[in-house]
Amino acid sequence: MKPVCFIAARGGSRGVPNKNIRIIGGKPLIAHTIEKAIKSNIFSHVIVSTDSKKIANISKKYNATIPFIRPKNLSTHNADGKDVILHGIKKLNSLGYKFDTLVSLDCTVPFIKISDIKRSIVLMKKKKLS
């Protein structure tokens, strides 16, 4: 069973407004992570969890899936990342997604290497962490 890629991207940013959709290298910041995840060919789905219609639309344009909109209480600057991921897992399970591994990729790391994503999964399986 292939893992699922989970990218959390809320709309509100206090430090850099709209940072997840700011143009970096000719495309929105989040597009870099989505494209790397898709090009890795290791994920059954590339899921974006967001509270923003703008982020959702841009993510869809780059072929990510947005199966739900994240609730406002998990979209604040002090929302706990693990709560966002747990919410995502529960929602994906309730929608019938089948996976045994969820890989969270940060959309603010546009220069992540596909080889690093692949090696992290190999290491996780080798260490029997999944």
Mean pLDDT of successive 10-residue segments in the chain (130 residues)? 94 84 95 97 97 97 98 91 96 96 93 92 79
- Residue listed under structure tokens 């430090």: 15
Q: What is the pLDDT of residue 55?
A: 97
Q: What are the b/e assignments for 85-122, b being 16+ CB within 10 Å?
A: bebbeebbeeeebebebbbebebbebebeeeebeeebe
- pLDDT score for 22: 94
pLDDT at 130: 54
Task: Kindly state the tokens that stand for 10.
Answer: 């809320």
Q: The pTM is what? A: 0.93
Report pLDDT for 13.
Answer: 76
